[in-house]
Amino acid sequence: MFETIVWATDGSELADRALPLVTELARVHDSRIVAVHANELLQGRFGGAPMLADEDDVRSRIGKQVEDLRAAGFTVDLRVETGSRHTPAQLIAAAAAEVDADLIVVGTHGRGAVATAMLGSVTKSLLHVAQCPVLAITPVRERVEALA
C-alpha cells in the first residue's frame, strides 16, 4: 500500500516523534523511506542564508538518523530541499511528488487555529499542497496533560 513514505523532518524532537511510526509503516509495507529536510533560505543582498543558524548541525543529525535506519535494514534516501521562493511545505510536497510518495508523515505541535494563524504551520500548508495523504503526528501525551 505504501511503497514510498516521506518523513518530513526539520531535525526537531517533534519530527523525531514521527519516526517510530514511519519505521513501523515501512516495516509492515516493505516501504522505501525518503527523509526530506526543507532548508528555507533567507534572501539578502549577498545571496541566501539558511533560516536556521544551526543548519549544518541539523543536516548532520538527520544524516546520522538516515545511516541508523540503513543499518537497521531500511531502504532510505535523504533529500535536502533548498529554496527561497517556496515555503517549506511546498519544498516537501514537491520532493514527495518527485519520489512518487504514497504518504508524507510529519510531526506537528498540534496548535489551535489562533496559534497557527499567527505562527503558520508547515503541516497545515502540506495538507493543502501535497499530492498524497499527509499523516500528522502530534505530541498527544502533552496535549492530554494540558487539558487535565
Mean pLDDT for the chain overall: 82
* In the predicted structure, residue 26 carries a pLDDT above the cut 80: yes
pLDDT tens-place string over residues 45-58: 444 444 444 578 88
pLDDT tens-place string over residues 83-138: 777 888 999 999 999 999 999 999 886 555 544 443 348 888 898 999 999 999 88
The CATH class for the domain spanning 4-147 reads: alpha beta
80 CB-near residues (< 8 Å, 6+ apart): 37, 39, 59
Q: For the chain, how many residues are written?
A: 148
What is the per-residue pLDDT for 75?
98
Backbone angles phi, psi at 80, to 5 degrees: -105, 110
pTM confidence score: 0.81
Quickly tell me which residue has 500528522 as its cell: 136
- CB 29, CB 82: distance < 8 Å: no
